[in-house]
């Protein structure tokens, strides 16, 4: 049993240098994870708003059909049950953040209580990107 091939003992300065390097690497990894987390949560929120706007567009389309089919005027407002047959899967869409959808009269856009931008005239998916 010789000592050939065995690494020499590290000096205290080398050990401290390795410790500092490990701390720098850990700090960089932490920073990258923070940036990724913020980016992901922003993307999730943007996706929820887009789903909500798509729901409002679907409701507005169903309202238009209901109005044409039933010869309704601008001040008439359908119920959710009136619109269900004209919506996908015949179900009334729900806000991904639990907002309450107001159908409103034919002259107004449908609106969400959580996403006020959904009731803004001209609000489209393009304005949220
Ligand atoms: Zn919403």
Distance in angstroms (rounded) separating the CA atoms of residues 81 and 68 = 16
Question: Ligand 1 centroid vs 2 CA: distance in angstroms?
Answer: 74
Where is pLDDT greater, at 121 or 116?
116
Residue spans per domain, the chain: 12-128
Beta-sheet strands, E only, within the chain: 101-102, 111-112
- Look at residue 125 in the predicted model and tell me its pLDDT: 54
Task: Write out the residues surrounding ion ligand 1, Cβ under 5 A.
Answer: 52, 95, 99, 112, 114-115
* Average predicted confidence (pLDDT) for the chain: 88
Question: Ligand 1 centroid vs 54 CA: distance in angstroms?
Answer: 10
> What average pLDDT score do residues 7-23 get?
91
Structure confidence at residue 3 as a pLDDT band (50, 70, 90): low
The end-to-end CA distance of the chain, in Å, is 69
- Look at residue 6 in the predicted model and tell me its pLDDT: 67
pLDDT at 120 over 80: no
pLDDT at 126 over 60: no
Tell me: the pLDDT tens digits for 63-114?
999 999 999 999 999 999 999 999 999 999 999 999 988 899 999 999 999 8
pLDDT at 129 over 50: no
Question: Ligand 1 centroid vs 74 CA: distance in angstroms?
Answer: 24
Residues 6+ apart with CB under 8 A from 118: 52, 53, 55, 56, 109, 110, 111, 112
């Amino acid at each position: 049993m010789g000592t050939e091939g065995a690494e020499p003992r590290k000096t205290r300065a080398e050990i401290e240098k390795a410790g500092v390097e490990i701390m720098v690497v850990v700090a960089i990894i932490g920073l990258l994870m923070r940036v990724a987390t913020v980016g992901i949560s922003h993307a999730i929120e943007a996706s929820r708003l887009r789903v909500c706007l798509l729901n409002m567009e679907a409701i507005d389309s169903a309202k238009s059909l209901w109005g044409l089919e039933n010869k309704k005027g601008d001040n008439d407002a359908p119920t959710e049950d009136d619109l269900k047959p004209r919506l996908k899967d015949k179900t009334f869409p729900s806000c991904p953040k639990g907002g309450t959808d107001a159908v409103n009269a034919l002259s107004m856009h449908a609106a969400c209580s959580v996403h006020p931008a959904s009731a803004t005239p001209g609000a489209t998916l393009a304005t949220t990107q």
